[in-house]
Amino acid sequence: MSTPVDALTFGEAMLSVQVDGPLTAGGQARTAVAGAESNVAVGLARLGHHVAWAGRVGTDEPGRMVLRALRGEGVRVDCATSDDQAPTGAMLRERRVADLARVHYWRTGSAASRLRPQHVKSALDAGARVLHLTGITCALGEGPLATVRAAAEHAAHNGWTVSLDVNHRNRLWDATAATTALRPLLELVDILIASDDELPLVAANPAATPAEQAAQLLADGAREVVVKRGSDGADLYLPGRAPLHADAHTVPLVDTVGAGDAFSAGYLSAVLDGLAAPERLHRATRTAAFSVAGAGDWEGLPHRDELPLLDTAPGGALR
């Protein structure tokens, strides 16, 4: 039996092939591990938290690569499961124009798409303080959606904090399908995280202003609504309080993929540390800045002792 962790998450971690130019032109490629939930898990582990990832991979080399990478980052994978009848998912990310990346998925029929509630039972039984979920897992099929629902119900029943990042992917499902699947989950969610263009997917009135949408989500039971605004920073809505805003940190823009996951990791880290609302937003925008300033989905995420580095003058050196 595993021991309790600070945070538990699960979903699809994949083999990522990243090409530095158009694939048809034969751009140079490198392999890595990618996945929204595993990115958050690595971010939390680097910030000093005990975190477990309970996703499902194939019994293949990409699956072994996923588990080795997460284990190497200090993420517990003892409750992860494998499927000898389905492959680990894969994605191709090609840099197409300037800093615009185009992503192609091979996820249909993957091991993660066959995720079922029984596959995460041991992880749930072990216990956690925070359960982090994303809309990406919900988009993988009825089984993964049922797993998300069962996990959220278990966490809510046992007094855990449940966070949900909407994390909409147009190539996985359309807006109508996302709304239909995600809105029934909101009654179980304590912390809702969404970018400003994702908020209408879960709001009762998509035509309302973001502030009105957040107010309704709070009235429906959410404890916190966190809105990511990219280079414009982030807003936090809490019941009975004026909205809080944090500016984004100014850093050289290298790669925006994974920035939202970095933001979520920073925010949940601050929640686990018991920080006040402004400090939660500050840590979230800071971890996101580390992410966009480096290449890769999670490779640039900061360790806890590196958080103050952004306070150093640009171009400086620590000697």
247 part of the active site:
no
Which residue in 84, 47, 43, 45 sits closest to 63, CA to CA? 84
Each residue of 302-317: pLDDT tens digit? 999 999 998 876 666 6
Please check whether residue 314 lies inside any domain of the structure.
no
**82, β-bridge pairs:** 57
Polymer length of the chain: 319
Catalytic residue among 247, 261, 297, 311: 261
- Report long-range pairs for 289-294 (Cβ below 8 Å, ≥24 apart): 289/248, 289/249, 289/251, 290/251, 290/262, 291/255, 291/258, 291/259, 291/261, 291/262, 291/263, 292/251, 292/253, 292/254, 292/255, 292/256, 292/259, 293/251, 293/252, 293/253, 293/254, 294/254, 294/255
Contacts of 159 (CB under 8 A, 6+ apart): none
Q: Where is pLDDT greater, at 30 or 115? A: 115
Whether 111 contacts 141, CB under 8 Å: no
Tokens 């910030």 correspond to what residue? 47
Whether 7 contacts 132, CB under 8 Å: yes
Q: What is the mean pLDDT of residues 98-102?
A: 73
What is the spatial distance between Cα 30 and Cα 303, in angstroms, rounded to a whole number? 24
Which residue in 76, 153, 163 sits closest to 121, CA to CA? 153
Any idea what the CATH number is for the domain that residue 142 is in? 3.40.1190.20
User: Angle at the Cα of 190 (from 284 to 183), degrees rounded to 5?
Assistant: 105
How high is the pLDDT of residue 1?
Answer: 42
Whether 153 contacts 187, CB under 8 Å: no
- pTM of the predicted protein model: 0.94
Each residue of 123-156: pLDDT tens digit? 999 999 999 999 999 999 999 999 999 999 999 9
pLDDT exceeds 50 at position 319:
yes
User: Angle at the Cα of 267 (from 124 to 10), degrees rounded to 5?
Assistant: 30
Which residue in 68, 113, 66 sits closest to 86, CA to CA? 113
Lowest mean pLDDT among 55-69, 104-118, 221-235, 300-314: 300-314
Each residue of 258-293: pLDDT tens digit? 899 999 999 999 999 999 999 999 999 999 999 998
Each residue of 160-198: pLDDT tens digit? 999 999 999 998 999 999 999 999 999 999 999 999 999
Contacts of 276 (CB under 8 A, 6+ apart): none
pLDDT exceeds 90 at position 86:
yes
> For the chain, how many structural domains are there in total?
1
Please check whether residue 56 lies inside any domain of the structure.
yes
How high is the pLDDT of residue 95?
Answer: 78
Please check whether residue 242 lies inside any domain of the structure.
yes
Domain that holds residue 244: 5-12+36-87+108-300
What is the residue type of 284?
A: A
Please check whether residue 96 lies inside any domain of the structure.
no
**Count of Cβ atoms closer than 10 Å to residue 227 Cβ:** 24
Mean pLDDT value across the chain: 93
How high is the pLDDT of residue 3?
Answer: 85
